[in-house]
Structure 1
């Protein structure tokens, strides 16, 4: 049974407050209405489209959390970060990011998203990539949304080094993995972990 319009709009607002990354398509399935109805509901409630919601969360996250980079130095949108622990970014691949002939994303964009996320997750004013080991597993195309997850695996305070692992996915498919060995000017606030 469909919800009355006012109740649907109220629940829509609550749902997007809890998870601003839901697409209009996901919301239409959840509420059992058309995508157009969801768009109209959002407009009436003053809720911006997904891309604008992502920008708002990313901007707030960058200003409040990230120490080692400026907003314009990050490739993709950082939407969640816990310094020296984990981070999450989203990168929407456009026609500008792919080879014209094959339509496949150029690898340096995926690397740049991963590398900037590895730098951003560091709880330090200066963080530099010392070495990386990367693997491209599946092609990425225009229109794909790449979600990169960073996890700090090991901090070596004696050498001011930190290992950050990155896994990038499109949907449920892993498309890129990398290990980034980072230099930091401080020894980190936590003990060395495995």
Structure 2
């Protein structure tokens, strides 16, 4: 079998470029992609000054959470990775042991719903935003250890009503879809009536 390993300078350049465009890629995925060991990828990242996935996620989250108006950061289920108020948002949720049923290690349905719902509310540019209607569809069971990436998009807005769709994926596979109607609420207006 021929050696498919790239020379180190070439690998470093491609690695840096790939991580810049795909900041949530794991070391394991990079090792497979570049046909090297995980340890080699870790050393490459260290030499290039690229933090590990957890730190990259944390950096993205810190920059993104400051934009949210409708929720406190701890009220968002999952790590908020990207947010454009009045447009879209992305969050990442790793399914841990406390999120699954003990008997079969399958994620509880309300966990995926909570990730999608909190993301839908977070993209609304209002001090208070509440879900009025939700229609959801679970495509398959989710297991402990899976990483779920949810993307919310505002499809339309009429007055204070937002129609938002959320698609959640595990890898490239769609595992959950939801349509939410979210209302921006003016608390002062309600208090004066």
Q: TM-score, normalised by structure 2?
A: 0.86
Residues 128-167 of structure 1: pairs in structure 2 closer than 5 A: 128-157=130-159, 160-167=160-167
Structure 2: tracts of 5 or more residues without a match: 187-193
Aligned: 1:12 with 2:18: no
Which of 71-80 and 8-17 deviates more? Answer: 8-17
CA distance in 2 between partners of 1:19 and 1:127 (Å): 31
Structure 2 residue corresponding to 1:55, chosen from 54, 58, 69: 58
Question: Which residue does the alignment assign to 2:190?
Answer: none
**Cα deviations by residue, 1:2-25 (Å, 9 ceiling, x for unpaired):** 443344334433432332112212
Structure 1: tracts of 5 or more residues without a match: 187-194
Question: Which residue does the alignment assign to 1:192?
Answer: none
Residues 69-80 of structure 1: pairs in structure 2 closer than 5 A: 69-80=71-82
Closer, same or farther in 2 for the Cα pair 1:52/1:27, shift >3 Å? same
Q: How many residues align?
A: 183
SS in 1 for 2:153: strand
SS in 1 for 2:25: coil
**Cα RMSD (Å) of the superposition?**
1.8
